[in-house]
Structure 1
Amino acid sequence: MRLPGWLTQHIAALRALLVFTVLLGLAYPLAMVAVAQLPGLRDNAKGSLVENAAGQRVGSKLIGQAFTDADGNPIPVYFQSRPSAAGDGYDPTATSASNLGPESIVDTLAANPDDATQSLLTQVCARSLAIGQLEGVDGRRPYCTPDGVGAVLAVFHRDGLTGPITRVVSVNQTGMPFISAYEGVPVQSAQVGIDYRAEGAVIVPVRGDAPSKPAVPADAVTASGSGLDPHISLAYARLQAPRIARERGTDTATVQRLVEEYTDGRALGFMGEPGVNVLELNLALDREFPR
Structure 2
Amino acid sequence: MRLPSWLSQHLAALRALLVFTVLLGLAYPLALVAAGHLPGLNDRADGSLLTANGRTVGSALLGQSFTDVDGNPVPRYFQSRPSAAGDGYDPTSTAASNLGPESVVDTIATDPEESTQSLLSQVCARSRAVGELDGVDGRRPYCTADGVGAVLAVFRADGLTGRVTRVVSVNQAAPATPFVTSWQGVPVELAQPGEDYVAAGGLITPVRGDAPAEPAVPADAVTASGSGLDPHISPAYAQIQVNRVARQRGADPAAIRRLVDQHTTGRALGFMGEPGVNVLELNLALDEQFAAR
| 1:1-291 paired onto structure 2 within 5 Å | 1-52=1-52, 54-175=53-174, 176-291=177-292
Distance 1:7 1:124 in 2: 68
Q: C-alpha deviations, 1:77-135, integer Å up to 9, x for none?
A: 00000000000000000000000000000000011111110000000000000000001
SS at match of 1:132: helix
Structure 1 pair 15–211 and aligned structure 2 pair: CA distance change class (3 A):
same
- What residue identity is the alignment partner of 2:13? A
Q: C-alpha deviations, 1:14-54, integer Å up to 9, x for none?
A: 111111111010000000000000000000001100011x1
SS at match of 1:81: coil
- RMSD (Å), alpha carbons: 0.8
Distance 2:119 2:13 in 1: 55
Q: C-alpha deviations, 1:240-284, integer Å up to 9, x for none?
A: 011111111111110110001011111111100010000000000
- What residue identity is the alignment partner of 2:50? V
Q: C-alpha deviations, 1:158-186, integer Å up to 9, x for none?
A: 11111111111000111221111011111
- What residue identity is the alignment partner of 2:73? P
SS at match of 2:204: strand
Distance 2:203 2:22 in 1: 65
Distance 2:167 2:9 in 1: 77
Distance 1:41 1:71 in 2: 38
Distance 2:189 2:145 in 1: 17
Deviation at 1:61, TM superposition (A): 0.6
Distance 1:204 1:222 in 2: 22
Deviation at 1:6, TM superposition (A): 2.5
Distance 2:16 2:185 in 1: 80
Quote the sequence identity (%): 72
TM-score (norm 1): 0.98
SS at match of 1:172: strand
Distance 2:161 2:86 in 1: 43
SS at match of 1:63: coil
Q: How many pairs were matched up?
A: 290
Deviation at 1:11, TM superposition (A): 1.7
SS at match of 2:152: strand
Q: Which runs of 4+ in 1 moved over 6 A?
A: none
Structure 2: 5+ residue stretches without partners: none
